Amino acid sequence: MSKKLIALLLAAMMVLAMLAACGNNNNTNTNDPGNNNPTTGDNTTPADPTAKKVYYTYLTSDHANLNFQDNVDSPSETPAIYCMCFLYRSYPDESGLNFHYIPDAAAELPIQIDEHTWNIPLRKDAHWNNGDPINADTWIYSFKTALDPKLANRMGGNVANNAITIVNAESYMKGEGATWEDVGIKKIDDYTIQIITEGENSQKDVCNHFYSREKSPIYQPIYEQCLSADGTTSSYGADLDHWMGCGPYLFTTWDYDNVQIYTKNPDYWLADLFHWDEVNIRIVPEMNARVELWEKGELDDLSPDAKTIDMYIDDPRMVSYGSLSVYHIDINCKNPNNPICGTDAYRKAIYHSLDRETLAKNIFGHTKPAGWYVNEQAGLLSANGLCYRDSDPGNEVEDMVNSWGPYGYNPDMAWDYFVKACEEVNIDPETADITILYAIDESDTEWKACAEYLEQEWKTIFKGHMNLEIVAYAGMSATDFKKTGDDKWDLSPNDWSRGASRTYPYTCFYYYLSSYSGKPNNYTNQEFEDQYAYCESIKNGDYNTLLEETAKLEKIYLEHVIHTPVVQAVNYQLFSDDLILPVSTWVPGFGWGTIYGDKNV
């Protein structure tokens, strides 16, 4: 008997040993900074550990990989700005009210050769974390890979066309005839590259174009090692071992879905501009946990959501700033089970049935009601800085909307349009019993609350003849869900926004053009498309004319209710008292510049 007991004990001990082994395993996930950068040792951190400046922040989800040319998810922005170099990077002005571009891996600001040609001289001491130089070949290789038609990198389009449009780049990428030699990216010598653009651009546009994650360089030896045999996919950046950094910070620890730690790279050529010794980013998907960490002082910043904003509404540390996003609801006009979905009147009925003031205040948490779609930031970065919403044409649209009712809300009109829609398809509105499927992402609590609210409201507005049924989907994105069939949804919330609208207000309608492949609804309108094309053609002309044409575009949009706007989002942000920000206010196109931040220790 005792023998068996011993056997049992031994078995237990083995399991414990296994546990211990696994525990150790965990530590090896941490990448030793020495591996990545033999030139720096552990002596990078100041001798006194209490003087170490650490920026504690969070992300709501982790990035999937570090292949910035292919990764479309916004969390990958963070490792890119901390750990990569760019040709140019934005830097706050002395005033703290604005920003400008400074050369990063470039030696100086772009030099204009002629109308379409820019030369970018490169810094001779730029290098990867392992010491390998970054020169013209690096950049040419990176851009070529980004545009490679075989790889079809999902961010490649942004390299070809964003703030500037590079000649033939899109044609090369899509395999429409142009060869790499035709593309407007050339090597002049080892430390100069030349960019040829389609339109005429300012120096700022060129700098702006090259400061985003997909334009960071890639490390050729590792990239080629990670390339599949047929050259169609690359596992570059899948983990820290298959990736190389070159930025102000070293990516020392990446424990997926838990923590990212960046430590300062003293060998970086602009190291003096950066003050954090370490940036510690926790991945915290639950709002509760974020609030808890913030309350305990373990975070330096926090963005409250609709459910938590009430806690901090008076907090002097809280700042709010404008948002690019107008939350809206996409409308399916091809649902075979919904007889009235094809009519304009049906969409108008939905448009007028939304009590946007209540939704903005009570459901989306201190946002602004919006019966229109062009966002409040649109036009902010245009030549004369006039926002479309503050301009006369913009106000005229607002007045039109408000003449229907507060922010377009008018239950009587909604009912009338419903009756009209029914009559158009020969249904008696008094006997009609139409079910509208409202498809929401189960985890999206604000839209879910909105759906539940509307479900109840509509019972009164449409007198029980048009009812909302909530369809919650889990496990896929809205885009994926909509693809499962036109009969699966009628309404679906959306918050897509387009950064380009800060410069050209009309571009916020971009996603609703038939030419956009990922179009979130299935309604097309020729008048709308033509007006958009017209705006596009005059975008570099007189700004006030552009605003007027944009107003026309927005009116066409409202007349046909291409989708229905709900609220203008507002961003809220709390910063800890210790944090010293480089700007005194939120700067559009730049943000708070926390990467240049500092801390009272």
Closest approach of other proteins to the CB of residue 266, in Å: 22
Closest approach of other proteins to the CB of residue 231, in Å: 11
Closest approach of other proteins to the CB of residue 569, in Å: 18
Closest approach of other proteins to the CB of residue 296, in Å: 6
575 lies in the site for other proteins, by CB under 8 A: no
Q: 27 or 384, CB closer to other proteins?
A: 27
Residues 14-53 that bind other proteins (CB under 8 A): 15-16, 19-20, 22-23, 25-27, 29-30
Closest approach of other proteins to the CB of residue 184, in Å: 23
Residues 268-297 that bind other proteins (CB under 8 A): 282-289, 291-293, 295-296
Residues 191-210 that bind other proteins (CB under 8 A): none
Q: Where in 215-302 does DSSP place strands (E)?
A: 249-255, 259-264, 278-283, 301-302
| Burial state string for 182-202 with b = 16 or more CB within 10 A and e = fewer than 16 | ebbbeeeeebbbbbbbeeebe
φ and ψ at 209, to 5 degrees? -60, -40
232 lies in the site for other proteins, by CB under 8 A: yes
From candidates 74, 202, 225, 256, binder to other proteins by CB under 8 A: 256
Closest approach of other proteins to the CB of residue 366, in Å: 12
From candidates 253, 263, 265, 503, binder to other proteins by CB under 8 A: 253
Cα distance between residue 502 and residue 508, in whole Å: 9
Question: 519: number of CA atoms within 13 Å, CB side?
Answer: 16
Provide the token pair at 527.
């008048």
Q: 148 or 205, CB closer to other proteins?
A: 148
64 lies in the site for other proteins, by CB under 8 A: yes
600 lies in the site for other proteins, by CB under 8 A: no
Closest approach of other proteins to the CB of residue 118, in Å: 28
How many residues line the site for other proteins (CB under 8 A)?
90
Q: 123 or 448, CB closer to other proteins?
A: 448
Closest approach of other proteins to the CB of residue 362, in Å: 5
Provide the token pair at 215.
């334009």
From candidates 112, 119, 235, 303, binder to other proteins by CB under 8 A: 235
Sign of torsion over alpha carbons 363, 365, 371, 374: negative
Residues 293-332 that bind other proteins (CB under 8 A): 293, 295-296, 298, 307-308, 310-312, 314-317
* C-alpha torsion 29→34→36→40, nearest 10: 150
Closest approach of other proteins to the CB of residue 62, in Å: 9
Provide the token pair at 263.
């430590």
Q: 238 or 427, CB closer to other proteins?
A: 238
Q: 223 or 276, CB closer to other proteins?
A: 223
Q: Which of 144, 125, 109, 104 is nearest to 191 (CA)?
A: 125
Please report where in the chains the tokens 């006997």 appear, as a residue: 431
Cα distance between residue 360 and residue 349, in whole Å: 20
Question: 595: number of CA atoms within 13 Å, CB side?
Answer: 22
Residues 346-365 that bind other proteins (CB under 8 A): 358, 362-363
Residues 496-555 that bind other proteins (CB under 8 A): 517-518
Q: Which of 514, 135, 490, 116 is nearest to 340 (CA)?
A: 490
Residues 139-178 that bind other proteins (CB under 8 A): 152, 154
* C-alpha torsion 504→509→511→512, nearest 10: -160
Contact 268, 127 (CB under 8 A): no
Helical H segments across 186-240, by residue range:
203-210, 220-226
Cα distance between residue 127 and residue 548, in whole Å: 49
Closest approach of other proteins to the CB of residue 308, in Å: 7
What count of other Cβ atoms lies within 10 Å of the Cβ of residue 334?
A: 12
Q: Where in 265-417 does DSSP place strands (E)?
A: 278-283, 301-302, 318-331, 368-369
Q: 158 or 501, CB closer to other proteins?
A: 158
From candidates 49, 177, 336, 475, binder to other proteins by CB under 8 A: 475
Query: Which distant-in-sequence residues (6+ apart) come within 8 Å of 543 by Cβ?
Result: 382, 383, 384, 386
Closest approach of other proteins to the CB of residue 559, in Å: 28
Residues 395-424 that bind other proteins (CB under 8 A): none
| Stretch of residues binding other proteins (CB under 8 A), selected from 98-106, 201-209, 255-263, 560-568 | 255-263
Q: Where in 295-446 does DSSP place strands (E)?
A: 301-302, 318-331, 368-369, 434-441
